[in-house]
Amino acid sequence: MRCLVVQPIDPAGTALLREAGVAVDTAPDTRIETLTPYLLHADAVITRNWGFPAEAMALAPRLRVIGSHGTGVDRIDVAGARARGISVVNTPGANAADVAELALGLALALARGLRDADGAVRAGDEGWRLQHRGTALGGRCLGLWGYGAVARALAPMAQGLGMKVVALSAHASPADLARDGVAAAKDAAELLSVADVLSLHGLPGARPLLDAAALAALRPGALIVNTARGALVDEDALVRALEGGHLGGAALDVTRREPLPADSPLLAAPRLILTPHVGGTTDRGLRRTALAVARAVLAGLGIAPPAGSGT
């Protein structure tokens, strides 16, 4: 059995695969011409935010399992895999606490203007601090659009700052939310009307959750954090909302295109923090996710992990 690791993962994951008797190939880059010789012999692949398109799948005649290093499978040709009987596995929750920490960090960075503060110091602008007025998060409302593993980890972090937390979820019951000290929003309109900070945690659908109308419905000065999926946000509408001054700021760890093209309007938008899809990129998160996806791939191949394998 051979597994192609399309994008690098923590060595603990590749070590587990090898310990189970699976040969591991690591691709130098994600160009199709680079991947082609590896795909010809791959029984399994592990990918990250590159996904796994139909073009790559067509070059892998032996493929049995596609492993997503993370929760998302939207960049994997899931329908094509299903048609060929290829299993698609992922690792929901493996790095949830790490993504939640970044979401909170981004909210704090927006609220306190840390990007501009850093720029002021570097530019020698001594007057910046006299003009700047940060936002205290304590006593304000965090709105969670979705209540999966990351949102559940983020809620108590925000509560620790003294924030009220309100969530809109199609899956969590009011009793589940109440148990966590989280109020339930009855619909999107209510969530948008009360959130001082809106953090996105849903799955992408046919249309973005945050389109122009939703952005306009947010209270003036609201902050937006997206560590979930780029497709959740209408990026052109977000740029217009930032340029128009309606929003206090936004932070995106995920975008529709990754990496961002050099001509993306996001790069010139005011009060916008951009990070390169690093929500789960911590020492703990990378190790846990690599081990989780390796175990899922082994299960898909019908191979039991070695007894006492890494945790």
pLDDT, one tens digit per residue, over 7-65 is: 999 999 999 999 999 999 999 999 999 999 999 999 999 999 999 999 999 999 999 99
Q: What is the pLDDT of residue 102?
A: 98
Answer whether residue 311 shows pLDDT above 70.
Answer: no
- Residues 68, 121, single domain; the answer is no
- Residues 128, 67, single domain; the answer is no
- Residues 55, 108, single domain; the answer is no
- Residues 186, 296, single domain; the answer is no
pTM: 0.91
Q: What is the CATH number of the domain that holds 128?
A: 3.40.50.720
Token pair listed for 113: 């203007």
Mean pLDDT score of the chain, rounded to an integer?
96
- Residues 64, 200, single domain; the answer is no
Has residue 13 been placed in a domain? yes
Has residue 15 been placed in a domain? yes
Answer whether residue 132 shows pLDDT above 70.
Answer: yes
Has residue 107 been placed in a domain? yes
Active-site residues, by number, are 229, 258, 277
SS (H, E, C) the chain: CEEEECCCCCHHHHHHHHHCCCEEEECCCCCHHHHHHHHCCCCEEEECCCCECHHHHCCCCCCCEEEECCCCCCCECHHHHHHHCCEEECCCCCCHHHHHHHHHHHHHHHHHCHHHHHHHHHHCCCCHHHHCCCCCCCCCEEEEECCCHHHHHHHHHHHHCCCEEEEECCCCCHHHHHHCCCEECCCHHHHHHHCCEEEECCCCCCCCCECHHHHHHCCCCCEEEECCCHHHECHHHHHHHHHCCCCCEEEECCCCCCCCCCCCHHHHCCCEEECCCCCCCCHHHHHHHHHHHHHHHHHHHCCCCCCCCCC
Has residue 55 been placed in a domain? yes
Burial of 108 (0-12, 13-18, 19+ CB in 10 A): middle
- Residues 101, 88, single domain; the answer is no
Sheet holding 2-5, edge to edge: 23-26, 2-5, 44-47, 65-68, 87-89
The stretch 92-115 carries a mean pLDDT of: 97
- Residues 101, 90, single domain; the answer is no
The stretch 97-116 carries a mean pLDDT of: 98
Answer whether residue 202 shows pLDDT above 90.
Answer: no
Q: Which domain holds residue 80?
A: 2-94+282-301
Has residue 119 been placed in a domain? yes
Q: What is the pLDDT of residue 309?
A: 66
Q: Which range, of 92-96, 203-207, 250-254, averages the lowest pLDDT?
A: 203-207
pLDDT in tens, 141-173: 999 999 999 999 999 999 999 999 999 999 999
Contacts of range 173-176, beta carbons closer than 8 Å, 24 or more positions apart: 176/147
Assign 101 a pLDDT band (cuts: 50, 70, 90): very high
Has residue 133 been placed in a domain? yes
The stretch 182-211 carries a mean pLDDT of: 94
Total structural domains within the chain? 2
222 alpha carbon, distance to own chain's centre: 21
94 alpha carbon, distance to own chain's centre: 12
Token pair listed for 272: 């916008």
- Residues 75, 120, single domain; the answer is no
- Residues 118, 50, single domain; the answer is no
CB 38 within 8 A of CB 4: yes
What is the CA angle 267-273-279, rounded to 5?
115
- Residues 81, 190, single domain; the answer is no
Phi/psi of residue 11, nearest 5 degrees: -55, -25
Has residue 306 been placed in a domain? no
- Residues 70, 183, single domain; the answer is no
Q: Tell me the HSE value of 212 on the side-chain side, using a 13 A CA sphere.
A: 4
- Residues 112, 137, single domain; the answer is yes
Has residue 110 been placed in a domain? yes
